Amino acid sequence: MAGRRVLVTGIGSHLGCELAARLEADPAYEYVAGLDTRPPPRALERTDFIEADIRSPVISKLIPATEVDTVVHNQIVRRPGAAGLSPQQAHDVNVVGSLQLLSACERTETVRTIVIRGSAGIYGAEPAAPQFFTEEMTKLYAPRTRFQRDVAEIENYFETYSRRRPQVTCMMLRYQPSIGPSVDSQITRYLSLPVLPTYLGFDPRLQFIHERDGLDALVASVRNPVRGAVNVAAPGTIGLTRIVRLSGKLTLPLLPSAFAPVVGTASRAGLASLSPDFERLLRYGRGVDVTRLTEEVGFEPAFTARAAVEDYVETLAGRRVVPSPRHAVTGSGSPR
Amino acid sequence: MTDARTRTSAPPRAEGQAPPATSPPPPTDAPQRSAAAGPLAAATAFLRAAREGLESGVGLADALARGSTAAGTSPGQEARSLRRLAGNYDEDDWGFDEEYVAAVRPLFDFMYDGWWRVETTGVENVPARGRALMVANHAGILPWDATMIAAALLREHPEPRHARFLVLNWAFQLPWVSAFMRKVGGVAASPYNAERLLREDHLVAVFPEGVKGAGKDFADRYRLQRFGRGGFVEVALRTGAPIIPVAVVGSEETYPKLGDAKPLARLTGAPYFPVTPTFPLLGPLGVVPLPSKWRIEFCDPIDISQHGPDAVDDRSLVFEITEHVRETIQQRVYANLVTRGSAFF
């Protein structure tokens, strides 16, 4: 039996590149291709780099020629300013890019599996939300932000596609924000600010996925795709106050009415830029249920939400000049 | 389904009402642990620690958390608040923080013993472990009844147990209140949350009357309101948890609600804006609850597991069980009212 042939979009990102590296190291994958406008951040052994813009119709000509059976869609922009994209361009990459990719998949007869690295942002962040969203709870709240609407739209396209093409397994992975030393995400940017703006009197429950688990979950999903949506997150939640204290940073608690103006000013001054989704997350938090990931995909994250934060904070502390109170107080004692 | 707009600020308020009865606040030495003598000391320790926190620039929420950590502890108090400030404390996935509960307990112990002289019966009906759903009547503007149920379980139960509460969703939009509620075991009143907590074998308390019960007029006291649509029965059926009706007497007299300033309620987004004999007339002092006499009865568990989880689709069965639970609580409320006698002495 011939090996699998995989195409990874967004190979210019850290995660896309690492995924390709993992796949090409596995002899079960006979062919690995990567699509992006940016080259992969590090050299890959046998991955075929296709330099093309996912928004352009030309990919409908390029992808069928690769005769891939699996497409991993890893080009969804989550952070404002990522890869130098404006919000409008990010929206185009997310929505138009997904549409172009789907139309390319329509023309590629060999495609049997599509794995999309989507976002748990589809659930939003609501004050009285269920503590742990399960996969069928996307319609509990009306979408509030542009990114949330984009994600909902993308999910809708893929859902329609998988209804039209029952022979194709469409797997929508809903990722919580990634945390780790080599990812550049909202939370890692936030935690590297000198002073952390918070909502006065709010202590949201947050949930992340450690970057290593994020990659392993993607690999596991490519190996064992299941139909429909699957939440990807570290089990458990952690309070923002606790994260802040672990990081040893100072906070700037702001009244809700002052938060947006202050952060907006900081953003214009080029100091910090938080997306509206992330701002809501900082106020109300969000957790998702990972039963489907562990039981159906068979992937068990190595880090809990708390361990993921602790691991990230440790690496931050390694670079720190001034010791954090945490290390001053506990000394050698490990955190409980 | 409780409203607790002012529960976070309850500790300082307790201090506000205590001075007439006791001597001036003790100096800044270690506070005592004893509940009866301790509320004032605990409250001062709370305020002192909170102030210290503010002075060292850790932000109000941190300062309050620090204050509540300090309240009611003596040795190792400094070490503990430092440890907490460094982020080394335990919260579960719902945000419940046992250490925090221990820190705010002296106030609730004082309210239980000294203020409301709560008498609890039937606490042995609450299982020491495993899932169970407590269903209680709701009254008295602020969710003091929830705190007293929690205190009763911690004080009277042979194997003390923390309860989780389904809290009015509005509370989670409010600064401090939302954070406080989570720390003491509150979760947003969503059936998903209730079901998940029960599947994790927690003891869950729910007030099906919700705002209708807490915000009813004094004239309607001890008349149970409609029990929603029976959502709690569906949750119990799905999880096979026994239902334990809880009758609370005394909560109605804490803030006799004479009227409702509806425009003010609309202005603040609150479910109601109560007018009581002392509030808003006496300002913040009006938030001090009246010292009524309380009784809490945990009734015999109602086991509905024989119906199986599919019975949730049987509307008439759900209504029947809902009505049965409501009737039981109503009867036990009346019986306890008779036993209690005078409302205040």
Model pLDDT for residues B20-59, shown as the tens digit of each residue: 333 444 443 433 344 444 556 666 666 666 555 554 545 5
Residue A254 in domain:
no
Residue A156 in domain:
yes
ipTM of the complex: 0.87
Residue A104 in domain:
yes
Q: Could you tell me if B94 and B72 are in contact, meaning their C-beta atoms sit under 8 angstroms apart?
A: no
Nearest of B63, B17, B15, B51 to residue B179 by alpha carbon: B63
What average pLDDT does this structure show over B176-181?
Answer: 92
Task: Give the one of B84, B178, B193 whose C-beta lies nearest to A202's C-beta.
Answer: B178
If one counts the domains in chain A, the total is 1
Residue A239 in domain:
no
Give the span between the Cα atoms of A324 and A68, in whole angstroms: 50
| pLDDT confidence of residue B23 | 40
Written as six digits, the tokens of B266 are 């609309």
What average pLDDT does this structure show over A178-197?
Answer: 90
Give the pLDDT confidence of A221-236 residue by residue, as tens digits.
999 999 999 999 999 9
Domain of A52, in residue numbers: 4-176+210-233
CA torsion angle A185 A187 A193 A194 (round to 10): -150
What average pLDDT does this structure show over A96-117?
Answer: 95
Residue A186 in domain:
no
Q: Which residues of B touch A199 (CB under 8 A)?
A: 175
Angstrom CA distances, A119 to A178, A217, A258, A303, B75, stand at 11, 14, 28, 19, 47
| pLDDT confidence of residue B4 | 39
Q: Which residues of A touch B179 (CB under 8 A)?
A: 201-203, 241
Which of A170-184, A189-203, B30-44, B301-315 shows the lowest mean pLDDT across its residues? B30-44
| pLDDT confidence of residue A266 | 85
Which band of pLDDT confidence, cut at 50, 70 and 90, is reported for residue B7?
A: very low
Q: How distant is the Cα of A74 from the closest Cα of chain B, in angstroms?
A: 29
Q: How distant is the Cα of B11 from the closest Cα of chain A, in angstroms?
A: 16
Residues 6+ apart with CB under 8 A from A314: none
The residue with greater pLDDT, B140 or A50, is A50
Residue A273 in domain:
no
| A43 in B contact zone (CB under 8 Å) | no
pLDDT at B13 over 80: no
Q: Output the CA angle B294-B170-B290, nearest 5 degrees.
A: 25
Task: Give the one of A127, A241, A326 whose C-beta lies nearest to B61's C-beta.
Answer: A241
Residue A199 in domain:
no
Give the span between the Cα atoms of B163 and B199, in whole angstroms: 14
Residues 6+ apart with CB under 8 A from A34: A7, A8, A9, A11, A16, A17, A20, A40, A44, A47, A48, A49, A50
Phi, psi values for residue A210, rounded to 5°: -65, 145
Mean pLDDT over each residue of chain B, to the nearest integer: 82
Task: Give the one of B85, B88, B170 whose C-beta lies nearest to A335's C-beta.
Answer: B88
Give the span between the Cα atoms of B147 and B167, in whole angstroms: 12
Which of A45-54, A174-183, A270-279, B309-318 shows the lowest mean pLDDT across its residues? A270-279
Binding-face residues of A in 217-236 toward B, CB within 8 A = 236
- The answer, yes or no, to whether the previous bond of B280 is cis (omega within 30 of 0) is yes
| pLDDT confidence of residue A116 | 96
Give the span between the Cα atoms of B158 and B185, in whole angstroms: 20
| pLDDT confidence of residue B155 | 94
Residue A111 in domain:
yes
Give the span between the Cα atoms of B202 and A52, in whole angstroms: 53
- Whether A131 sits inside 8 A of B176 (CB atoms) is no
pTM, entire model: 0.83
- Whether B82 sits inside 8 A of A329 (CB atoms) is yes
Task: Give the one of A134, A200, A250 whose C-beta lies nearest to B60's C-beta.
Answer: A200
Fill in the DSSP letter of residue A133.
B
| pLDDT confidence of residue B107 | 92
A 10 A CB-CB count for A8 gives 31
Give the pLDDT confidence of A59-68 residue by residue, as tens digits.
999 999 999 9
Which CATH number goes with the domain that contains A34? 3.40.50.720
- Whether A202 sits inside 8 A of B187 (CB atoms) is no
pLDDT at B214 over 80: yes
What average pLDDT does this structure show over A185-200?
Answer: 91
**Assign residue B330 a region: left if phi > 0, alpha if psi is -120 to 50, beta otherwise?**
alpha
Nearest of A183, A83, A103, A256 to residue B173 by alpha carbon: A256
